[in-house]
């Protein structure tokens, strides 16, 4: 039987590094996707996750509801990603939101993974942060709404709403690029 | 229900970056090492580790002390053996001709 988040948080507070490892490992994937939703690329998302994990460990006493550790961590990751995105905006000349979506007549080329990736990223950048997080956790990671709700600190109904709105917007943007798979939830 | 079941989920697998340099293991390890709180906890652990590692060394040192004390006591006992004069007097009374070995023991080698 695995230890609950609340139990692991208690052990982390007493300086147990093994508990910290288990807790961070359990929430790594969600944290990574929330970070990815914020910054739009893997390298920055990994840096964001690492920074957010350090903040989370250093301020673990501030986690008021250890049973909802995932939601608390997601907030830290989201804030860290926003800071990172602001920094990247200043540094780079072409922010994520201005990436062009390839024209449809280049559909054959768009199946190339790099271009498809760019296309998806550009489309995702036009969603709200929470729509993007829910769409990634649900459609990429295969999580159910109850899990997403718990991890992001929202209700399952709100998770469904974000997914529906996010998908609708993505289909409008992507058109023929939007490949569909059977739903799981 | 706001979802649209007939449309299904979007295929976002192209977003997965196959050549990602770092994995969860390294990020988590760096985060734990980078956290001042966890570093403090790890440092607090060190004296305990030290005591654990020192325990066998202390045991070995104790054994060495016991052996050393035993050796010193044995040497002192040997030094309380009869003096050569006593041995020679005894041999004279009994008209005993000492062997080389007896002379060696009586004089404790060339020490006396």
Strands (E), chain B: 9-10
pLDDT in tens, B8-46: 778 888 887 655 546 888 899 999 998 888 877 766 655
Query: A161 and B1 in contact (C-beta within 8 Å)?
Result: no
| Contact by Cβ (8 Å): A162, A135 | yes
pLDDT of residue A31: 94
| Residue with token string 């969600």 | A30
- What token pair was written down for A181? 């798979």
CB contact under 8 A, B10 and A49: no
Q: What beta strand segments (E) does chain A contain? A: 180-181
Average pLDDT over residues A7-29: 92
pLDDT at A114: 75
Q: How confident is the model at residue A47 (pLDDT cuts 50, 70, 90)?
A: very high
- On whether ipTM exceeds 0.90, the answer is no
Residue A17 Cα, gap to closest chain B Cα (Å): 7
Shortest CA gap B48–chain A (Å): 14
What is the reported pLDDT for B50? 55
Q: Do A120 and B15 touch (CB under 8 A)?
A: yes
Q: Any idea which of A3-17, A70-84, B72-86 has the lowest mean pLDDT?
A: B72-86
Residue B83 has pLDDT above 80, yes or no: no
Q: Which residue has the higher pLDDT, B43 or A21?
A: A21
For the whole model, what pTM was predicted? 0.64
pLDDT tens digits, one per residue of A84-140: 888 877 666 454 554 455 555 554 554 567 778 888 888 898 999 899 999 999 998
Set of chain B residues whose Cβ sits within 8 Å of the Cβ of A58:
35-37
> Residue range B95-110: average pLDDT?
80
Please give the residue that has the higher pLDDT: either A75 or B81: A75
A153-160 long-range CB contacts below 8 Å, 24 or more apart? A153/A68, A153/A70, A153/A71, A153/A72, A153/A74, A153/A75, A154/A130, A157/B2, A159/A134, A160/B1, A160/B2, A160/B3
Report the pLDDT value the prediction gives residue B75, as an integer from 0 to 100.
Answer: 72
C-beta separation of A131 from A165 below 8 A: yes
Name the closest residue on chain A to residue B17, using Cα atoms.
Answer: A42
Round the average pLDDT of chain B to a whole number and report it.
74
Query: Which pLDDT score is estimated for A49?
Result: 95
The rounded distance, in Å, linking the Cα atoms of A136 and A159 is 12
Q: What is the pLDDT of residue B96?
A: 86
Inter-residue long-range contacts of A156-165, CB under 8 Å, 24+ positions, other chains counted = A157/B2, A159/A134, A160/B1, A160/B2, A160/B3, A161/B2, A162/A128, A162/A130, A162/A131, A162/A133, A162/A134, A162/A135, A163/A131, A163/A134, A163/A135, A163/A138, A163/A139, A163/B3, A164/B2, A164/B3, A164/B4, A165/A131, A165/B2
Helix ranges (H only) for B80-109 are 84-93, 100-106
| pLDDT for position B6 | 46
Return d(Cα A18, Cα A107) in angstroms, integer: 49
Is the model's pLDDT at B7 over the cut of 90? no
Cβ contact B37–A60 (<8 Å): yes
Tens-digit pLDDT profile for residues A67-79: 999 999 999 999 9
Buried-state track A92-107, b at ≥16 Cβ within 10 A, e below 16: eeeebeebebbeeeee
Verify whether the Cβ–Cβ distance A139 to B9 is below 8 Å: yes
pLDDT of residue B92: 87
Report which of residues A22 and A179 the model is more confident about: A22
């Amino acid at each position: 039987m695995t230890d609950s988040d609340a139990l692991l948080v208690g052990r982390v507070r007493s300086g147990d590094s093994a508990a910290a490892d288990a807790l961070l490992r359990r929430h790594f994937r969600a944290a990574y996707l929330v970070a990815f939703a914020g910054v739009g690329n893997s390298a920055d998302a990994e840096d964001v996750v690492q920074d957010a994990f350090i903040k989370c460990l250093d301020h673990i006493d501030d986690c008021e509801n250890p049973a909802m550790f995932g939601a608390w961590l997601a907030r830290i990751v989201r804030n860290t990603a926003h800071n990172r995105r602001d920094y990247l905006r200043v540094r780079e000349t072409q922010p994520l939101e201005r990436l062009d979506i390839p024209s449809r007549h280049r559909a054959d080329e768009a199946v190339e993974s790099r271009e498809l990736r760019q296309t998806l990223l550009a489309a995702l950048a036009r969603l709200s942060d929470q729509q993007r997080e829910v769409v990634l956790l649900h459609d990429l990671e295969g999580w159910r709404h109850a899990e997403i709700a718990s991890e992001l600190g929202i209700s399952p109904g709100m998770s469904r709403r974000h997914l529906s709105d996010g998908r609708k917007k993505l289909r409008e943007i992507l058109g023929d690029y939007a490949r569909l798979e059977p739903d799981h939830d | 229900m706001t979802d649209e079941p007939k449309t299904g989920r979007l295929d976002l697998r192209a977003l997965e970056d196959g050549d990602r340099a770092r994995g969860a293991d390294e990020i988590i390890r760096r985060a734990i090492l980078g956290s001042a709180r966890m570093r403090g906890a790890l440092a607090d652990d060190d004296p305990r580790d030290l005591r654990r590692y020192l325990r066998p060394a202390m045991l070995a040192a104790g054994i060495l002390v016991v052996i050393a004390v035993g050796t010193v006591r044995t040497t002192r006992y040997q030094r309380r053996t009869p003096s050569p004069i006593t041995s020679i007097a005894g041999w004279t009374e009994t008209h005993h001709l000492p062997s080389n070995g007896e002379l060696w023991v009586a004089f404790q080698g060339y020490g006396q």
